[in-house]
């Protein structure tokens, strides 16, 4: 009888051990000695994206000692290649990362990436480039961190309206009371580019300001492309250009370079951007650029970090403020002009 009892106890231990190992293998019980966060960027040389990445690294360094587990952060550059990004996501999955953060090269590739991480049961945080709602709803462990694109457009419109209404004698070059403008757009199909383009004009119309579009084109967020586009438009329209709208600061700075390089312009147009990068702040301080709208890269990096740490531990996101639908964290913007640039120029 005693012998049978011993055999039963041994079998019980074997079964329990098997169950525990099985759970660990399935990823349901994860060791908290280390949390691994993998990040893949669409382009490391994009000024704003690299700023978010640098901020995230600083946050990990600063806060790492506050936890009873190590935090490993690895950031990879997809260099604008969907194939590279897919391979990088595969790498993070194969190396059993706890969270994967993706700044998409191509929004249409989101579904494929989500299906991969869902199969591996690894939470995913998209940032800056928002997947469509259908893709965001493919799984309950898909999250997004970004800015409030419509708000940025409306604040950009506020800057233009203030400049236009207070200095109409200077900026209304042909005295017709209508803003003649050109528009430098970001990457085609990018949701922030589409929203910023639409709502800055819509907001000015709502303020009773009439506008006439001279030209618009995509410069893909790139300063050099914007410089080239603006140089072409100056040759074509000259002093007819009264306002230059730019979907980001990089392109606005490219436009300013073209303006400063052209001696044919009698009066410089209003130039506005979005992001609040240091170079744009300096340009505003130098009275070249009229204004920008800060897209808070620090707050976005903090949100990415906070969500990543919580979901890696299987926690709910109830304590994270201003989460929309338990999936979205949208960071508000701040308007910057010559009147307050010193507050933000570091």
Say what the pLDDT of residue 93 is: 98
pLDDT in tens, the chain (346 residues): 444 444 334 333 333 333 333 333 344 445 568 999 999 999 998 889 999 999 999 999 999 888 989 999 999 999 999 999 999 999 999 999 999 999 999 888 999 999 999 999 999 999 998 998 999 999 999 999 998 889 999 999 999 999 999 999 999 999 999 999 999 999 888 888 999 999 999 999 999 999 999 999 999 999 999 999 999 999 999 999 999 999 999 999 999 999 999 887 888 999 999 999 999 999 999 999 999 999 899 999 999 999 999 999 998 888 888 899 889 999 999 999 999 999 998 7
Say what the pLDDT of residue 319 is: 81
Superfamily (CATH) of domain 34-146+297-331: Response regulator (3.40.50.2300)
Say what the pLDDT of residue 32 is: 64
Say what the pLDDT of residue 16 is: 33
Distance CA 306, CA 323 (A): 12
Assigned token pair, 341: 């640039």
Specify the CATH class of 150-296+337-344 in words: alpha beta
Say what the pLDDT of residue 191 is: 83
Q: Please, which residues have CB within 8 angstroms of residue 153's CB and are 6 or more apart in sequence?
A: 195, 196, 197, 198, 199, 200, 202, 203
Radius of gyration of the chain measured on its C-alpha atoms: 25
Q: What is the pTM of this model?
A: 0.80
DSSP secondary structure of 309-328: HHHHTT--STTSTTEETTTE
User: 56 pairs with which residues across the strands?
Assistant: none
The answer to whether 75 and 39 have CB atoms below 8 angstroms apart is yes
Assigned token pair, 149: 């694109």
Say what the pLDDT of residue 208 is: 97
Distance CA 269, CA 272 (A): 10
The answer to whether 273 and 289 have CB atoms below 8 angstroms apart is yes
Instruction: Note whether 34-146+297-331 and 150-296+337-344 share their fold.
Output: yes
239 in helix, strand or coil?
helix
> Domain locations in the chain?
34-146+297-331, 150-296+337-344
């Amino acid at each position: 009888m005693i012998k049978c009892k011993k055999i039963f106890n041994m079998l019980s231990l074997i079964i329990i051990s098997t169950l525990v190992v099985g759970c660990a293998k399935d990823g349901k019980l994860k060791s908290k000695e280390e949390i691994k966060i993998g990040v893949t960027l669409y382009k490391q040389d994009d000024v704003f994206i690299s700023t978010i990445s640098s901020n995230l690294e600083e946050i990990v360094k600063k806060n790492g000692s506050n936890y009873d587990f190590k935090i490993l952060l690895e950031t990879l550059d997809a260099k604008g290649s969907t194939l590279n990004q897919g391979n990088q996501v595969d790498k993070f999955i194969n190396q059993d990362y706890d969270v994967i953060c993706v700044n998409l090269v191509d929004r249409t590739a989101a579904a494929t990436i989500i299906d991969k991480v869902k199969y591996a049961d690894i939470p995913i945080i998209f940032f800056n480039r928002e997947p469509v709602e259908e893709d965001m709803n493919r799984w309950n462990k898909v999250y997004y961190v970004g800015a409030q694109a419509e708000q940025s457009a409306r604040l950009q419109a506020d800057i233009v309206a203030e400049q236009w209404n207070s200095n109409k004698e200077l900026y209304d070059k042909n005295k017709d009371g209508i803003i003649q403008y050109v528009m430098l757009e970001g990457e085609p199909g990018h949701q922030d580019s589409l929203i910023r383009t639409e709502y800055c004009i819509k907001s000015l119309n709502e303020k009773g300001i009439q506008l006439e579009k001279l030209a618009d084109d995509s410069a893909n967020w790139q300063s050099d492309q914007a410089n080239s586009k603006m140089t072409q438009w100056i040759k074509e329209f000259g002093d007819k250009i009264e306002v230059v709208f730019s979907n980001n600061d990089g392109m606005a700075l490219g436009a300013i370079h073209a303006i400063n390089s052209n001696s044919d312009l009698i009066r410089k147009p209003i130039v506005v951007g979005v992001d609040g990068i240091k170079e744009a702040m300096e340009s505003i301080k130098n009275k070249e650029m009229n204004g920008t709208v800060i897209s808070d890269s620090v707050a976005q990096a903090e949100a990415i970090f906070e969500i990543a740490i919580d979901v890696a531990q299987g926690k709910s996101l109830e304590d994270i403020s201003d989460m929309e639908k338990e999936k979205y964290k949208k960071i508000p913007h701040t308007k910057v002009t010559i009147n307050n640039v010193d507050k933000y120029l570091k």
